[in-house]
Amino acid sequence: MEVKKIREVRRDFPIVPFDAERRTTGQGEIRQELCIKWDDGDKKLVAIGINPSTAQNGESDNTMTRLCRIVDMYGYNYVKMLNIYESVSTPQSGINKKTLTDFQKKLDDIECADMVLIAWGMNGYEEEKERIKDVLKPYNEKVFCIARKKDDGFSYPRHPSRLSYKDEIIKYGIS
C-alpha cells in the first residue's frame, strides 16, 4: 500500500469530534475512543496514541486538529482515535496505568480501517507498544506513522501535537 499527499494543508474544514464520551469511573476520567468525520467519502483511519487528549464531543483540541489536517492531505476523511490507555490526563504522569485498552475488542475497527496510524510518539511505554504491535501483525500492510524527514533518514513515529505539516506519512514496520 502506498500513500501520497493529494493536497496541501487545509485549515477550513470542520473538526468536530463525536463518539468521544468522557466519563468518570473508579479509574478516574476515561475516554475509550473519539471519532471525527469531514467531507464526503469513505477513507477511514484508526490512529493509536498513548492516552486521550482533552478533545470531547463537539470540541477538538490541538492534538486532534493537527492529526486531522495532516491525514486530510492524504485524502482521509474519517479518524477513529484509540489509545494505549483510556485515562484522560494532559501530563503523562497522571495516566492511570490500570486503564489499558483491550485492543482485541478493537479488531473490527482495525479491520475496517484503510490505514492504521501509529501516533504514540517515539519514547516510553515500550512493553505496551509491543503488546499492540502483536495485535497489529496481521494488518502490517496498512500500518503507518507520521515521520519527520532528516538528513540521515526519518525520525518517527511523531506525536500529533508535535507535528509539522511538512512531516510525512510513511510505512511503519512491525517485526
Question: In this predicted model, what pLDDT tens digit does every residue of 19-52 receive, in sequence order?
Answer: 999 999 998 999 999 999 999 989 999 999 999 9
**pTM exceeds 0.75:** yes
**Per-residue H/E/C for 61-92:** CHHHHHHHHHHHCCCCCEEEEEECECECCCCH
Average pLDDT of the chain to the nearest whole number: 93
pLDDT at 56 over 90: yes
Sorted by sequence, the CB contacts under 8 Å of residue 152 that are 6+ apart come out as: none
Considering only residues 75 and 152, tell me which one the structure prediction assigns the higher pLDDT. 75
Closest-CA residue to 20 (of 92, 86, 97): 86
Closest-CA residue to 129 (of 31, 50, 55): 50
Residue 1 pLDDT: 83
